[in-house]
């Protein structure tokens, strides 16, 4: 069989597609796989790293603002839709997929739309509790919409299309235990891991730089931080650390990276993870039972990250800290409190595991295969 995946923009959209493709490859090793992404985005690097071919199309996102600059952007985006439609058709005609799966990002729109027009079965996976703009626009075209939460059904006009699957997690997260992962990374003692998404977050990176400075003085834990935004984000972080007197971070148990490519190992090694609360990340945290301090992004549709984080905090697996309230000192104090309270790490870890959906991968692959085989 031939499976075409379309995804892009952030790791939260790309990684679920890679995870599902990996499982389908195990089930049907003779199958062919192709990814379609947007030019200049993370998928151009992440997908080939996992051994999959990718075709890139020219497409822009739509902006909601009516400012003159944004209106001009949307006019360019409208033109790009015409270009991307033709590119999508060419890719689909050449690859001849049995099914097309979209896992998020504006690149999904022209690909899923064209596949539907050409009579090819299509599925969308929406990992967030509240559907994004692309999913809303494609709802009437996709044959099946897979969601992470039962309560998400109410946001769709045709609940009969909706299948609750959970959010898939990449291979490797169950291959490591904490101590084995720490040994592999050469770390002794407590480890904090932090990241703000593949594109980073300027304000939160500033707070993280200050957190690293405080910990540099106190030496309470080792710290791995991913800046996001590639080499530019890395250089900015190093400049901020230098301004704060942290010159040789490696000697002080600090590991700064633009992106954590060995995420399963690094997250498994962590005692506490500080991060946003996108659905893909939460799926990984709950699967491996990892205590977390969640700082939801305030710049997302319908505030869905805070809603996701509130569920984990309510059950005791995470601490919810709004960005408007977040400071380096509060983060440091919260980490220290969790580490120094007897039994707290174990309690949080158990609470996280209770929220996991370990069969998400199987449900999604079954749904994809059922639709593909039904149409063949």
Q: For the segment 155-200, what is each residue's pLDDT rounded down to a tens digit?
A: 899 888 999 998 888 778 989 999 999 999 999 999 999 999 877 7
Query: How many separate helices (H) and strands (E) can be counted in the chain?
Result: 14, 13
The dihedral built from the CA positions of residue 303, 192, 45 and 5, taken in this order, carries a sign that is: negative
pLDDT less than 50: residues of the chain: 63, 65, 70-71, 73-75, 79
Q: Which of 271, 279, 263 is nearest to 348 (CA)?
A: 271
Predicted local confidence at residue 311, as pLDDT: 86
Which structure tokens are listed for 279?
Answer: 């659905």
Separation of alpha carbons 58 and 90, rounded Å: 13
Helix (H, G, I), strand (E, B) or coil at 51: coil
- Element (H or E) spanning 366, and its range? helix 360-374
Task: Determine the Cα–Cα distance for residues 23 and 242; give it in Å rounded to an integer.
Answer: 44
For residue 73, what pLDDT is reported?
Answer: 43
Give the CATH superfamily of 2-167+359-374: Glycogen Phosphorylase B; (3.40.50.2000)
Q: Distance between CA 115 and CA 122 in Å, rounded? A: 7
Q: How many CB atoms lie within 10 A of CB 96?
A: 10
Residue whose token pair is 């990176």: 205
C-alpha torsion sign, points 370, 116, 114, 278: negative
Long-range contacts of 216-220 (CB under 8 A, 24+ apart): 216/244, 216/245, 216/246, 216/252, 216/254, 218/332, 219/252, 219/253, 220/190, 220/332, 220/335, 220/336, 220/339
Residue with the two structure tokens 């148990």: 253
pLDDT, tens only, 326-366: 999 999 999 999 999 999 999 999 999 988 888 999 999 99
For strands 272-275 and 32-38, give the pairing: unpaired
CB-CB neighbours of 69 under 10 Å: 9
Exposed / middle / buried, residue 177 (Cβ in 10 Å: 0-12, 13-18, 19+): exposed
Distance (Å, whole) CA 75 – CA 287: 42
Q: What is the pTM of this model?
A: 0.75
CATH of domain 178-354: 3.40.50.2000
* pLDDT number for residue 69: 54
Q: Are 111 and 6 in contact (CB under 8 A)?
A: yes
Question: What stretch(es) of the chain map to CATH 3.40.50.2000?
Answer: 2-167+359-374, 178-354
Calculate the dihedral angle through the C-alpha atoms of 50, 53, 55, 60, rounding to the nearest 10 degrees.
Answer: -10
Q: What pLDDT was estimated at residue 209?
A: 97
């Amino acid at each position: 069989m031939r499976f075409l995946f379309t995804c892009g923009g952030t790791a939260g959209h790309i990684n679920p597609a890679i995870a599902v493709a990996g499982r389908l490859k195990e089930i049907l090793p003779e199958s062919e796989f192709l990814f379609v992404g947007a030019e200049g985005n993370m998928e151009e690097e992440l997908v080939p790293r996992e051994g999959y071919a990718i075709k890139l199309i020219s497409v822009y996102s739509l902006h909601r603002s009516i400012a003159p600059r944004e209106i001009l952007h949307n006019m360019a985006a409208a033109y790009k839709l015409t270009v991307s439609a033709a590119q999508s058709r060419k890719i689909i005609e050449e690859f001849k997929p049995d099914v097309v799966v979209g896992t998020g990002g504006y690149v999904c729109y022209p690909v899923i739309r064209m596949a539907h027009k050409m009579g090819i079965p299509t599925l969308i996976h929406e990992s967030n509790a509240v559907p994004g703009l692309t999913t809303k626009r494609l709802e009437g075209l996709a044959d099946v919409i897979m969601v992470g939460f039962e309560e998400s059904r109410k946001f769709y006009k045709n609940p009969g299309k909706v299948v609750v699957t959970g959010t898939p997690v990449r291979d490797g997260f169950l291959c490591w235990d904490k101590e084995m992962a720490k040994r592999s990374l050469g770390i002794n003692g407590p480890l904090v891991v932090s990241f703000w998404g593949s594109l980073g977050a300027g304000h939160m990176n500033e707070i993280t730089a200050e957190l690293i400075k405080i910990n540099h003085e106190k030496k309470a834990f080792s710290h791995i931080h991913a800046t996001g935004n590639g080499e530019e984000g890395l250089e900015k972080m190093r400049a901020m650390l230098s301004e704060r007197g942290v010159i040789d971070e490696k000697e002080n148990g600090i590991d700064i990276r633009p992106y954590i490519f060995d995420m399963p190992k690094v997250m498994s090694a962590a005692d506490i993870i500080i991060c946003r609360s996108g659905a893909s990340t939460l799926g990984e945290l709950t699967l491996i039972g990892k205590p977390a301090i969640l700082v939801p992004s305030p710049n997302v549709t319908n505030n869905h990250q805070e809603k996701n984080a509130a569920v984990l905090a309510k059950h005791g697996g995470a601490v919810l800290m709004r960005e408007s309230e977040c400071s380096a000192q509060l983060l440091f104090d919260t980490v220290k409190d969790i580490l120094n309270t007897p039994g707290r790490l174990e309690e949080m870890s158990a609470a996280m595991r209770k929220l996991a959906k370990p069969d998400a991968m199987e449900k999604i692959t079954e749904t994809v295969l059922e639709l593909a085989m039904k149409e063949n």
